[in-house]
């Protein structure tokens, strides 16, 4: 005996129910094929162990080359640092020799000692005199009625 539900329906509704049932079954069967698969779940694309080993050897060769290059760059940097230190040492020796040598006309333009010459501006002389008395830049600025930044600049130039 057929199920009582299907007997009471018209033919179009029966075919629609059968079609829906077939579509549902097909969907359940075909759905797993269209799912995104995990790329790590399948084996690597290498067909043989020999190919894997050759790739490993190539990677090791690249690492060896990088290591050699790093050593070369380090050696170049060390060499340049040593040259720089030698040049600095030589410059320091020349500066010491120039300072200890008596002033001659050849070195006169090179040696500029600001303390040995009097200030060219009399206003600077006032600032220097007050600073020599032990006053700070704010006190000097108030006494001379000038901006404190100007006084600080004049004192900084003196040094």
In DSSP notation, 42-57 reads SPPS--SHHHHHHHHH
Residue that the structure tokens 């100007």 belong to? 150
Q: pTM here? A: 0.34
pLDDT interval class at 71 (50, 70, 90):
very high
**Is the confidence at residue 138, as pLDDT, over 60?**
yes
Query: Quick count: other Cβ atoms within 10 Å of Cβ 157?
Result: 11
CA 27 to chain centre: 54
HSE on the CB side for 116, CA within 13 Å?
Answer: 4
**Is the confidence at residue 110, as pLDDT, over 60?**
no
- Please tell me the predicted confidence (pLDDT) of residue 101: 80
- Please tell me the predicted confidence (pLDDT) of residue 6: 53
Please, what's the largest Cα pairwise distance for the chain?
133
Q: Which has the higher per-residue pLDDT, 117 or 21?
A: 21
Q: Which has the higher per-residue pLDDT, 46 or 41?
A: 41
* Under 8 Å between Cβ of 140 and 158: no
**Is the confidence at residue 80, as pLDDT, over 70?**
yes
Q: What are phi and psi of 141, to 5 degrees?
A: -60, -40
Q: Which of 85-89, 92-96, 108-112 has the lowest mean pLDDT?
A: 108-112
Mean pLDDT of the chain: 81
Helices H, strands E: what count in the chain?
6, 0
Task: Give whole-number Cα distances, 81 to 35, 75, 84, 87, 88, in Å.
Answer: 61, 10, 5, 10, 10
**Residue 101 contacts by C-beta under 8 Å, 6 or more apart in sequence?**
107
* Calpha distance 52→60 (Å, rounded): 12
- Please tell me the predicted confidence (pLDDT) of residue 115: 55
CA 56 to chain centre: 32
**Is the confidence at residue 7, as pLDDT, over 70?**
no
pLDDT interval class at 91 (50, 70, 90):
very high
């Amino acid at each position: 005996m057929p199920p009582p539900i299907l007997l009471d329906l018209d033919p179009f509704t029966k075919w629609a129910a059968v079609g829906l049932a077939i579509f549902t079954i097909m969907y359940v069967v075909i759905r797993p094929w269209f799912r995104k698969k995990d790329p790590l779940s399948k084996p690597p694309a290498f067909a043989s162990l020999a190919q894997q080993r050759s790739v490993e050897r190539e990677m090791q060769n690249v690492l060896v080359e990088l290591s050699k290059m790093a050593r070369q760059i380090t050696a170049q940097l060390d060499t340049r640092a040593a040259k720089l230190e030698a040049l600095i040492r030589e410059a320091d020796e020349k500066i010491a020799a120039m300072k200890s040598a008596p002033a001659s006309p050849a070195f006169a333009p090179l040696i500029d000692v600001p303390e040995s010459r009097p200030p060219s501006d009399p206003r600077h002389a006032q600032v220097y005199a007050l600073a020599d008395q032990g006053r700070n830049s704010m006190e000097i600025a108030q006494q001379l009625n000038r901006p404190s930044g100007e006084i600080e600049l004049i004192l900084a130039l003196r040094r």
